[in-house]
C-alpha cells in the first residue's frame, strides 16, 4: 500500500492532521485573526477596564469574554497558539536532533565508549525537568544579586544597576530567547531519542549492507550519515511528533502551578483559577475563563498524539517491510532523479542487447518485469552484492556500480550481477556507466556479442 493510502486509511489520521493544520493556521495568521494592540503588544491585550476584577462575559468587543483585569480571552488564545507551537517545535526539534546524533554515534561506537555514552544518557533519564527550571532561574537570580542587582520575582525585571554588567546582559538576553524551561527541557529530554536510535543502530550494524559498506572501506561518518541515520530516523520522528504535545502540556502545567515557563494558556488558566476554584466558583458559571484555554491545551495534546500515531503507521517498520521510512524517501528520490523518460530514443533498448529469449537467469529476470528486488534475500547473500542492491534501490547509481564492478572484477556472482545490471540499464538507459558495466559483466559471462553491443551503447552515450 502506498504511503498516502496508509496515512488516509484511518479517520483518526485525518483528524490529527486537520487539528494540526488548524493550530498551524491560527499560529501563522495570529496577526490577522486578532491584531495586536500597537501600544502594548503581547498575548495579553487589555480590552476592558484595568481595574475590573471580575471576568466579564462575551460581548461584541470580546467574542470570548474577558479575564479579570480586562484581558481579552480570544486574543490570548490565538497568540497562545503561536507561542505554544513555537515552544513545542523548538524544544522537540533541538532535542530530537541532538538525541538522534548522540544515539547514532553511541550505537556505532558500541564497545566501551558506546556503553559509557549510553550510561550517561540513562543517568539523565533520572532528572525531572521541573527541578531544572527552578535551578536555572535561581542561578540567574543569584548571579544578578551577587553582582549587586535585584530581580523582581513577578516581572523578571532587573533593578538597581547603575551600569548593567555585561555578564548579566548576556544571560538576560539568553533567557529572553530561550526561557529556563526551554533550556531545561532541551538539556534533559533528548535521552529517549538517543536510546531509540542507539538500539536501532545496534541492530542495523549486524545487517549485511552495513558490513559491506565497512568492508568497502567507507568512513564511519559516511556510514552513520548515509546508512544509519537514514534508517533510524523514522521511529524518532514519530517520537518527536508525540513529544510536541507533551512538551507544551508540561509548559502549561508548570506555568499554572507558578514555577515558570511562560505558557500563555497556562497563564490564562492561572489567572482564571480563582473564578473556578474560589468560593462559589464553578466550572460553568464563568465558562469563558476555563473552557477556551482548557480545550486548546487538550486538543493540542491530542492532535500531536494522533499525528504521532499516524506517522507511526507510515514511517515505522512493520512486519512485511523492514524500515519503511527509508523506502518512502527512496521512492521519492528515485522519482526525482530518474524523471520521465523521453519516448523517441534513438538508442537501442535493453531487449536488443539482452534478448528476452536469452537463456539462463538473465532472460528469466527480464521476462519477469519486476523491479530491482530490494533486500530480497538478506540472509546468505554476498555483502557486496547486497550493498550494491541496496545502493541501487536507493537510486545511488555510482555507488551501486562501484560495488558491481568489484564483483565483476573478481568474477563473483556474475549470474546475479547480470540481471541486476540489465534491470538498471532498463531503468537508466541514458547512463553510459551502466552500459559499460553491463558490457563487462556480459564479457565475463562469455556473451561477447551482447557485450559489444553494450559497449557500443556506452560509447554512443558518452559522445
Partner 1 sequence: MPPFLQFVIRRFMAIPISLLFITLVLYGGVMLTPPEARASLYMPNTQRNLTPEQIKRLEENIIERYRLRDPYLVQYTLWAKSLFEGTWGYSPSLNEDVLPSLLRRTPATVELALYSLLLLIPLGLVSGVAAGWKRSGGFDRGFRLLAFLSTSTPPFILAIVLLSLFYINRGWFAPGRLDLSYLLEISDGEFVSYTGMMTIDAFLNGRTDILGNAFRHLAMPVFTLSIYHWATLARVARVSVLGEEKKEYVTAARARGIAERRVVWKHVFRNTLTPSLTSMTLSAASIVTGVFVAEIIYNINGISTIILSAMSGAPDAPAALGFAIYSVIMILLLMFMLDVLQAIFDPRVREGVLKA
Q: Which is nearer to partner 1, 6 or 299 (CB)?
A: 299
The reply on whether position 364 binds partner 1 by CB under 8 A is no
Question: What's the rounded Cα separation, in Å, for the pair 330 and 304?
Answer: 26
141 binds partner 1 (CB under 8 A): yes
Neighbours of 234 (CB within 10 A): 23
Quick one: which of 61, 138, 164, 169 contacts partner 1 (CB under 8 A)? 138
Residue 146, interface with partner 1 (CB under 8 A)?
Answer: yes
Q: How far apart are CA 294 and CA 298, in angstroms?
A: 6
Q: Choose which of 61, 142, 345, 364 interacts with partner 1 (CB under 8 A).
A: 142
Give the number of other CB atoms < 10 A from CB of residue 276: 18
Q: Which residue has the cell 534533559?
A: 188
Q: Find residue 150's DSSP bridge partners.
A: 159
Q: Is residue 134 involved in binding partner 1 (CB under 8 A)?
A: yes
Is residue 461 near partner 1 by the rule CB under 8 A? no
Q: Rule CB under 8 A: is residue 14 a binding residue for partner 1?
A: no
Question: With binding defined as CB under 8 A, does residue 202 bind partner 1?
Answer: no
User: Which of these ranges, 97-105, 271-279, 365-373, 448-456, lies near partner 1 under the rule CB under 8 A?
Assistant: 271-279
User: Binding partner 1 by CB under 8 A: which of 81, 137, 232, 263?
Assistant: 137
**Block residue for cell numbers 534513438:** 346
Distance in angstroms (rounded) separating the CA atoms of residues 21 and 85: 11
249 or 434: whose CB is closer to partner 1?
Answer: 249
* Residue 98 binds to partner 1 (criterion: CB under 8 A): no
- CA–CA separation, 23 and 143 (whole Å): 39
Distance CA 168, CA 143 (A): 8
**Residues 241-260: x/- map of binding to partner 1 (CB under 8 A)?**
--------xx-xxx-xxxxx
Distance CA 416, CA 404 (A): 10
Q: Which helix (H) or strand (E) holds 111?
A: helix 111-124
Binding segment for partner 1 among 86-94, 107-115, 117-125, 336-344 (CB under 8 A)?
117-125
Q: Under the criterion CB under 8 A, does residue 38 sit at the interface with partner 1?
A: no
Task: Tell me the C-alpha distance between 327 and 318, whole Å.
Answer: 12
> What is the nearest approach in angstroms of partner 1 to the Cβ of residue 396?
35
Count of helix runs (H) and strand runs (E) in the chain: 22, 4
Position among 28, 29, 63, 283 found at the interface with partner 1 (CB under 8 A):
283
The residue range among 37-45, 49-57, 136-144, 388-396 that interacts with partner 1, by the rule CB under 8 A, is 136-144
Nearer to partner 1, 123 or 219 (CB): 123
Which of 18/125 has CB closer to partner 1? 125
Round to whole Å and give the CA distance between 263 and 248.
Answer: 8
Where on the phi/psi map is residue 395: left (φ > 0), alpha (ψ -120 to 50), or beta?
A: left
* C-beta of 70 vs 293, nearer to partner 1: 293
Q: State the Cα–Cα distance between residues 105 and 423, nearest whole angstrom.
A: 36
Query: Cell match 549486524: residue?
Result: 206
Q: Which stretch binds partner 1 (CB under 8 A): 81-89, 140-148, 202-210, 443-451?
A: 140-148
Q: How far is CA 267 from the centre of its chain?
A: 30
Residue 124 or 178 having the CB closest to partner 1:
124
- Binding interface with partner 1 (CB under 8 A): 119-120, 122-132, 134-139, 141-147, 151, 153, 167, 171, 187, 192, 195, 249-250, 252-254, 256-260, 269, 273, 276-277, 279, 281-283, 290, 294, 297-298, 301-302, 305
Amino acid at each position: 500500500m502506498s504511503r498516502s493510502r496508509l496515512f488516509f486509511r484511518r479517520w483518526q489520521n485525518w483528524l490529527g492532521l486537520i487539528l494540526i493544520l488548524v493550530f498551524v493556521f491560527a499560529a501563522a495568521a495570529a496577526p490577522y485573526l486578532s491584531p495586536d494592540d500597537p501600544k502594548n503588544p503581547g498575548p495579553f491585550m487589555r480590552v476592558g477596564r484595568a481595574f475590573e476584577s471580575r471576568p466579564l462575559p462575551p460581548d461584541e468587543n470580546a467574542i470570548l469574554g474577558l479575564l479579570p483585569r480586562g484581558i481579552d480571552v480570544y486574543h490570548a488564545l490565538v497568540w497562545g497558539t503561536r507561542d505554544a507551537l513555537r515552544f513545542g517545535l523548538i524544544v522537540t526539534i533541538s532535542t530530537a536532533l541532538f538525541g538522534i546524533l548522540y544515539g547514532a554515534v553511541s550505537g556505532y561506537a558500541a564497545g566501551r565508549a558506546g556503553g559509557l555514552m549510553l550510561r550517561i544518557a540513562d543517568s539523565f533519564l533520572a532528572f525531572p525537568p521541573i527541578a531544572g527550571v527552578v535551578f536555572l532561574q535561581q542561578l540567574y537570580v543569584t548571579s544578578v544579586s551577587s553582582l549587586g542587582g535585584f530581580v523582581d520575582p513577578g516581572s523578571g525585571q532587573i533593578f538597581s544597576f547603575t551600569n548593567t554588567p555585561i555578564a548579566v546582559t548576556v544571560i538576560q538576553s539568553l533567557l529572553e530567547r530561550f526561557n529556563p524551561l526551554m533550556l531545561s527541557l532541551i538539556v534533559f529530554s533528548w535521552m529517549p531519542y538517543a536510546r531509540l536510535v542507539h538500539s536501532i543502530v545496534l541492530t542495523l550494524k549486524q545487517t549485511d549492507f552495513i558490513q559491506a559498506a565497512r568492508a568497502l572501506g567507507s568512513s564511519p561518518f559516511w556510514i552513520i550519515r548515509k546508512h544509519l541515520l537514514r534508517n533510524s530516523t523514522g521511529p524518532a520522528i514519530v517520537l518527536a511528533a508525540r513529544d510536541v504535545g507533551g512538551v507544551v502540556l508540561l509548559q502549561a502545567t508548570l506555568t499554572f502551578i507558578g514555577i515558570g515557563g511562560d505558557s500563555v494558556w497556562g497563564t490564562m488558566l492561572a489567572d482564571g483559577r480563582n473564578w473556578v476554584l474560589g468560593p462559589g466558583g464553578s466550572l460553568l458559571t464563568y465558562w469563558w475563563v476555563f473552557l477556551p484555554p482548557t480545550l486548546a491545551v487538550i486538543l493540542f495534546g491530542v492532535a500531536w498524539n494522533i499525528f504521532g500515531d499516524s506517522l507511526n503507521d507510515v514511517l515505522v517498520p512493520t512486519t512485511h517491510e523492514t524500515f519503511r521510512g527509508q523506502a518512502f524517501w527512496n521512492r521519492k528520490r528515485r522519482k526525482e532523479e530518474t524523471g520521465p523518460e523521453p519516448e523517441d530514443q534513438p538508442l537501442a533498448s535493453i531487449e536488443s542487447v539482452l534478448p528476452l529469449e536469452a537463456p539462463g537467469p538473465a532472460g528469466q529476470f527480464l521476462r519477469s518485469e519486476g523491479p530491482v528486488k530490494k533486500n530480497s534475500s538478506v540472509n546468505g547473500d554476498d555483502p557486496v552484492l547486497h550493498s550494491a542492491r541496496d545502493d541501487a534501490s536507493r537510486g545511488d547509481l555510482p555507488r551501486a556500480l562501484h560495488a558491481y564492478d568489484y564483483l565483476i572484477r573478481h568474477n563473483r556472482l556474475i549470474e546475479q550481477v547480470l540481471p541486476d545490471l540489465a534491470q538498471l540499464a532498463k531503468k537508466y538507459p541514458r547512463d553510459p556507466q551502466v552500459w559499460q558495466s553491463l558490457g563487462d559483466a556480459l564479457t565475463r559471462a562469455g556473451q561477447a556479442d551482447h557485450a559489444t553491443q553494450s559497449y557500443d551503447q556506452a560509447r554512443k552515450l558518452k559522445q
